[in-house]
Structure 1
């Protein structure tokens, strides 16, 4: 999503390529429209009114149907023409499962909620009702669920270690549907990430405070900023525009 040009550059799941989405919506509803990436909007909300309030170096990682990230570095939300933050396409298992992006072994193929659901269903030979059921089975001692869960946690820790080495966040905020598992996810993820780091700044790893509202709240904050009003006050000390 290219925020500057207000275009949907590439969406594998929806099939959009270089779509002038903001202009199309503005023509349709006859109101000013500002376009942004849902994950960057979530990061804006968490950094302004949520779990990362006051942090100047934050990595926001929602884990749901897919995996993505938004980066706040030295108080600024990074855009890089819309390409920044594709954590879900860091390769964690070379030569692994085919990803929708065209590569193999991407983080999304192992640690997304969809991958966890599919991985467990493949092991037990029957469909299940989402990753939440896998989490429940982990907490009840199901060995197959634990195997799938541990693989996902290890893959996520590997990707986060890479991101930490490159970006040095002081705080990592885990959001999305998988974060609803709470410490069942966060405790082993913290341990794995700690094991993977040596000299790097060790980030605090927390659960998102705004849940599935973060993207909507961030969209509202972005619209507020588009009118010329800052989304944060001077005393917050963080610029996210």
Structure 2
């Protein structure tokens, strides 16, 4: 779990981390989040003379943002956890916003990170899985049922590898960091090899690594062009562990996307700027939005009108 006190400009005034404790069961995870948030709110009094006035929390899995419910998270064992209500009770009835981890990270990247100033962007983190955040005019779309942005389950290789979602050939089975790790471990014969090792081997000219890497880049480009055709973003932000390879990823990816577009307008393809602080920053922005006065859209930083400081707390960034 990562937590922070966030200021009106998106700055993290205090940060803390602790183990999720999921080995003790889903109820223990929830209790850990509630305790963490309460401690952080109290810290606001000690550090800044007043408690945090709003809270934002970002969680993985399926999230019902409207009703404040963590519907399902396989890695945490959650089902229908009324997290917003529980946090409100623990924090003394302060307003609480609940968001999906990737969409919340995308909110931060769009407003104060790599997509700052763009009216439309798509944020795609490449980690254990692949998800996406669709940004429009400073907000992130959650969809009618909370599934918006699940680009990792776009089928790019029909009849390909089975996916836990029940389909075959999903994007995340070919282009996520875990997929590249698996493919490279098999190709090089080292079961401990991972995507970072593959990227290094690509840079050193290893033909096996280049083949694995190109397969992933091609699959990713196929999925991204589908998304670009549907959403027409101005900026495409790539984050997650695989993006840490830098131009080893971005140079061939830009080329692959460019080769595939026809009538579509090619967006800027850029690396994410906020790293693993994006979730906390985004949760802070959600909290600031609760304190705003314009129901149709926040200011450039989602700042509240009274200069108060929200609490944010997020569980691990796990895509399911």
TM-score (norm 1): 0.90
Distance 1:119 1:105, change over 3 A: same
Aligned with residue 104 of structure 2, among 36, 41, 63: 41
More strand by share: 2
CA RMSD, 1 decimal: 1.9
Using the TM superposition, name which of 209-218 and 185-194 deviates more: 209-218
Using the TM superposition, name which of 67-76 and 44-53 deviates more: 67-76
Match of 2:215 in 1: 151
Aligned with residue 232 of structure 1, among 278, 292, 300: 300
Aligned with residue 14 of structure 1, among 76, 80, 105: 76
CA contact (8 A) 2:126 2:239 kept: yes
Larger Rg: 2
Per-residue displacement from partner, 1:43-96 (whole Å, max 9, x unpaired)? 111121111111001001111111111011355421114110000001111111
Answering whether residue 128 of structure 2 is matched by residue 65 of structure 1, we say: yes
Report deviation, 1:30. 5.0
Q: What is the number of equivalent residue pairs in this alignment?
A: 234
Q: Distance in 2 between matches of 1:13 and 1:74?
A: 32
Q: Distance in 2 between matches of 1:231 and 1:62?
A: 25
Match of 2:26 in 1: none
Per-residue displacement from partner, 1:118-154 (whole Å, max 9, x unpaired)? 1111122222343111111111112221111111100
Report deviation, 1:27. 4.3
Q: Distance in 2 between matches of 1:102 and 1:231?
A: 41
CA contact (8 A) 2:124 2:239 kept: yes
Report deviation, 1:12. 3.8
Answering whether residue 156 of structure 2 is matched by residue 92 of structure 1, we say: yes
Match of 2:174 in 1: 110
Match of 2:279 in 1: 215
More helix by share: 1
Asked which structure has the greater RCO (Cα within 8 Å, sep 6+), the reply is 2
Give the secondary-structure state (helix, strand or coil) at the position aligned to 1:106: coil
Report deviation, 1:97. 1.3
Match of 1:77 in 2: 140
Q: Distance in 2 between matches of 1:119 and 1:233?
A: 41
TM-score (norm 2): 0.68
Q: Which runs of 5 or more residues in structure 2 are unaligned?
A: 1-62, 303-320
Distance 1:14 1:147, change over 3 A: farther
Give the secondary-structure state (helix, strand or coil) at the position aligned to 2:99: coil
CA contact (8 A) 1:78 1:84 kept: yes
Match of 1:51 in 2: 114
Give the secondary-structure state (helix, strand or coil) at the position aligned to 2:237: strand
